């Protein structure tokens, strides 16, 4: 443990330099502000009262502190000040602590009142330490109050510049593809043997007139002809069959997918 | 005596920069040069001038000399006044970081309104530093480089009185301190492993009832 | 040698000032002191440093030294590959120069966004070569010497002719291999009202990731 004046190094008044709270009184006891709003809770009030004992927090008299606190609360009550529950609970607890401290040793409970008192003292020390640390922190040379940064810095800028890349092959191949893409395209269609839809219609209707039985579409095609003509005839005959079915002159059936198509005249 | 080009470059760059810069950022900006010597030389050069070159949390910046405050302060008071609660919370975060809200409240003995931490985070001095890996995974808070910069601290080690507080055990929780004080003559130290929590049995619950189950 | 207090005060004040200050303003700020000598001394002190104290129209200010300007605005080069559309336009300009935009579009069969020509001019490969003396006086474009040197050409005559392109299989309608290789999928459908379309998505797909410092 150090024995330096850390605990008392900064007076309450200078602590209060940073905030406007009425936490500290201008003079000792009597002038205590009876404004509980000024304290950050009962522990803070206790710390303030402890400070008034003018001794190191490690040596405060807890009994005296309890008396001071309770007296303070009673006085506030007498003045009909509104007192937050926190403060009253603390007063009750301190009263209990005081009576326990005064009891004969053998009737002590666990935890002992000595332990409770010591813990309270330790808490006050810690809060006191932080309060002083806060004051010392606030008293440092602060930017914008004691030291100043450059008022109008130019700023650092990084500009991005594009370095475009393309190579010879890309250039000429792109040109080639574009030329090819945009050349006028001529489609040459060679002459082929075809069966027109009209002739397929004539042919299929004529053949349907021969019988009432189902006939496979293929049997309508010209036999022994050029395979290219047969392909054309198949397509035309299929369309002709659809047309006849649409006109109600024939019906079409197919037993299975991709199976042979059958055609039959509809009796009219 | 003309300073060398690297020194001039570091000087100009930091002078123009809108934010403090780390040595690494400076080096990257200056084509990878090793800037440490230049920084030392510059800091030395400016040590007695009206401007200082200072290091704050590994970041370097120019600022006016502290003894010039009286000339500059009268025009602009740019510093926001912190409430007493915010001031205390800031100190607790700085000296105990990383620290949870419950720990802050254990020290202050009072609930901390969320606005208080918000103010500190808005000022850029406190940040959320993750969660503590304990039941409930409470959020923990720590200070920022801007905090160091604002309060003129090179690092957290420069916090006023930090060493003394540490040596006096005043940064340790009450339980640890109590344990340390009584361990010599007290065998049954059941409280040791129950930080802040051994108070459920009523007696000094009054001291703890301000804690928030954050 | 520590500068005197007035010099330090002027130094700090000008440093922290948000705007340049006249000698009178400085003097008023510093309790009526005569600051002229201090200004001269400071200007002298900073004359060879990375920072200068300069007077501009009777107002004094610090600024970075002129030869340090490159540090304040650095250029970062980003290597990007030309989009398919831009490559087509470049090829047309190269094969047909001087050529107007309408002619480019007639050859490509699609509208050409102005962004495409801008990219080629930014790359330094295409320039405006005047106007064609026809109704409407359209701007005409041509390649630059940088174009020749980037593509390793002595002159435009080194570009392969159509016969050679055909022999090399480069006049085949669609080169799927090329498409796959470059993964350029801009499908000649640039809308005239979306000038940056091709640089916004087509390019980024093939944007090479490395950056170089200028």
Chains that touch A (3 or more CB pairs under 8 A): B, C
For residue C161, give the DSSP letter. P
DSSP string, chain B: -PPPHHHHHHHHHHHH-SS-EEHHHHHHHTTT---HHHHHHHHHHGGGSSEEEEEETTEEEEEE-GGGHHHHHTT---PPPPPHHHHHHHHHHHHH-SEEHHHHHHHHTSPPPHHHHHHHHHTTSEEEEEE-SSTT--EEEEE-HHHHHHTT-SSGGGSTTHHHHHHTTTTS-HHHHHHHHHTTT----GGGGSTTTTTTTSTTHHHHTT----
pLDDT bracket for residue B163 (50, 70, 90): very high
pLDDT bracket for residue C46 (50, 70, 90): very high
Q: For domain B79-192, is the CATH number 3.40.50.12500?
A: no
Residue B34 has what pLDDT? 92
- Assigned domain for A208 exists: yes
Residue A37 has what pLDDT? 63
Assign A83 to helix, strand or coil: coil
Task: Give the C-side interface with B, CB within 8 Å.
Answer: 2-3, 7-13, 15-16, 29-30, 48-51, 62, 64-65, 68, 71-72, 74, 213
Same domain for A132 and A47, yes or no, is yes
For residue A217, give the DSSP letter. G
Alpha carbon distance B59, B191 (integer Å): 43
pLDDT bracket for residue C8 (50, 70, 90): very high
pLDDT in tens, B72-97: 875 555 667 888 889 999 999 999 99
Residue B78 has what pLDDT? 61
Alpha carbon distance C198, C204 (integer Å): 9
Pull the structure tokens for residue B41: 């030389």
Rounded to a whole number, what is the distance in Å from the CA of C99 to chain B's nearest CA? 43
CA-wise closest residue to C170 among A174, A168, A183, A167: A174
pTM, two decimal places: 0.60
- CA dihedral defined by A108, A110, A113, A115, rounded to 10 degrees? 140
- Lowest average pLDDT, out of A99-108, A190-199, C93-102, goes to A99-108
Residue A228, pLDDT above cutoff 60: yes
Rounded to a whole number, what is the distance in Å from the CA of B89 to chain C's nearest CA? 31
**Distant-in-sequence, close-in-space partners of C59: CB < 8 Å, separation ≥ 6:** C19, C20, C21, C22
Residue with tokens 């200004």: C39
Residue C179, pLDDT above cutoff 70: no
- Assigned domain for A11 exists: no
Any idea where the domains of chain C sit in the sequence? 3-70, 79-192
Residue C140, pLDDT above cutoff 90: yes
What kind and span of H or E run contains C51?
strand C51-56
Inter-chain CB proximity B82 and A133 less than 8 Å? no
Residue with tokens 């003894």: B67
| pLDDT winner (highest mean) among A73-77, A80-84, A221-225 | A73-77
Q: Which of the residues B14, B123, B156, B204 would you substitute to probe the A interface, choosing the one with the greatest number of A C-beta atoms within 10 Å?
A: B204
CA B84 to mean position of chain CA atoms: 17
Give C174's contacts in chain A (Cβ within 8 Å): 177, 180-181
Same domain for A128 and A202, yes or no, is no
Residue at which a domain ends, from A124, A139, A154: A139
Give C7's contacts in chain B (Cβ within 8 Å): 50
Count CB atoms within 10 A of the CB of residue B192. Answer: 15
Residue C112, pLDDT above cutoff 80: yes
Residue with tokens 């205590």: A32
Residue C142, pLDDT above cutoff 60: yes
Alpha carbon distance A205, C163 (integer Å): 57
* Mean pLDDT, chain A, integer: 78
Inter-chain CB proximity C71 and B7 less than 8 Å? no
Residue C207, pLDDT above cutoff 50: no
CATH number of the domain at A230, please: 1.10.10.580
Alpha carbon distance A3, A9 (integer Å): 11
Alpha carbon distance A182, B58 (integer Å): 63
CA-wise closest residue to A144 among C66, B149, C198, B49: B149
* Fold agreement between C3-70 and C79-192: yes
- Assigned domain for A210 exists: yes
Residue at which a domain ends, from A91, A119, A139: A139
Inter-chain CB proximity B61 and A136 less than 8 Å? no
A233-236: list long-range contacts, CB under 8 Å, 24+ apart.
A233/A195, A233/A200, A236/A194, A236/A195, A236/A196, A236/A197, A236/A199, A236/A200
Across the beta sheet with C73-81, what order do the strands follow? A157-165, C73-81, C211-213
Query: What is the tally of structural domains in chain A?
Result: 2
Residue B208, pLDDT above cutoff 70: no
**Distant-in-sequence, close-in-space partners of A3: CB < 8 Å, separation ≥ 6:** none
Taking one residue from A and the other from C, the number of pairs with CB-CB distance under 8 angstroms is 136
- Domain B3-70 in this protein, CATH class: mainly alpha
Q: What share of chain A has pLDDT > 70, as a percent?
A: 82
Pull the structure tokens for residue B194: 């129950």
Assign C142 to helix, strand or coil: strand
- Assigned domain for A222 exists: yes
| Domain housing A130 | 42-139
- Assigned domain for A33 exists: no
Q: What are phi and psi of C205, to 5 degrees?
A: -60, -30
């Amino acid at each position: 443990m150090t024995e330096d004046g850390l605990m008392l190094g900064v007076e309450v008044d200078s602590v209060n330099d940073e905030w406007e709270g009425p936490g500290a009184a201008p003079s000792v006891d009597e002038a205590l502000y009876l404004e509980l709003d000024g304290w950050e809770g009962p522990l803070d009030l206790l710390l303030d009262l402890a400070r008034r004992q003018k001794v190191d927090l490690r040596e405060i008299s807890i009994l005296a502190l309890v008396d001071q606190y309770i007296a303070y609360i009673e006085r506030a009550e007498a003045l009909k000040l509104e007192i937050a529950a926190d403060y009253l609970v603390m007063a009750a607890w301190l009263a209990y602590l005081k009576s326990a401290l005064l009891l004969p040793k053998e009737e002590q409970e666990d935890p002992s009142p000595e332990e409770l008192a010591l813990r309270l003292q330790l808490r006050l020390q810690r809060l006191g330490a932080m309060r002083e640390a806060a004051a010392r922190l606030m008293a440092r040379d602060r930017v914008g109050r004691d030291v100043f940064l450059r008022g109008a810095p130019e700023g650092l800028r990084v500009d991005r510049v594009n370095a475009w890349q393309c190579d010879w092959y890309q250039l000429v191949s792109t040109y080639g593809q574009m030329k090819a893409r945009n050349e006028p395209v001529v489609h040459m269609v060679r002459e082929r043997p075809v069966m027109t839809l009209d002739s397929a219609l004539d042919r299929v209707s004529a053949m349907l007139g021969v019988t009432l039985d189902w006939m496979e579409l293929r049997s309508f095609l010209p036999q022994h002809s050029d395979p290219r003509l047969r392909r054309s005839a198949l397509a035309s005959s299929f369309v002709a069959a659809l047309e006849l079915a649409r006109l109600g002159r024939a019906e079409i059936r197919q037993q299975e997918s991709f199976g042979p198509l059958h055609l039959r005249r509809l009796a009219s | 005596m003309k300073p060398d080009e690297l020194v001039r470059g570091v000087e100009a760059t930091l002078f123009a920069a809108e934010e403090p810069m780390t040595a690494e950022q400076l080096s990257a900006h200056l084509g990878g040069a090793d800037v440490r010597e230049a920084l030392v030389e510059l800091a030395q050069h400016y040590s007695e001038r009206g401007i200082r070159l200072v290091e704050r949390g590994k970041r370097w910046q120019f600022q006016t000399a502290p003894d010039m405050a009286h000339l500059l302060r009268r025009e602009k008071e740019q510093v926001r006044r912190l409430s007493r609660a915010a001031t205390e919370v800031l100190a607790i975060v700085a000296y105990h970081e990383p620290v949870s809200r419950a720990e802050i409240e254990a020290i202050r003995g009072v609930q901390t309104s969320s606005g208080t931490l918000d103010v500190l985070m808005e000022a850029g001095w406190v940040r959320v530093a993750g969660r503590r890996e304990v039941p409930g995974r409470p959020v923990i808070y720590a200070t920022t480089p801007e905090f160091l910069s604002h309060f003129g601290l090179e690092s957290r080690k420069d916090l006023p009185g930090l060493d003394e507080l540490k040596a006096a055990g005043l940064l340790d929780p009450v339980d640890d301190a109590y344990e340390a004080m009584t361990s010599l003559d007290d065998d049954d130290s059941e409280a040791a492993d129950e930080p802040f929590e051994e108070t459920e049995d009523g007696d000094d619950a009054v001291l703890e009832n301000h804690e928030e189950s954050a």
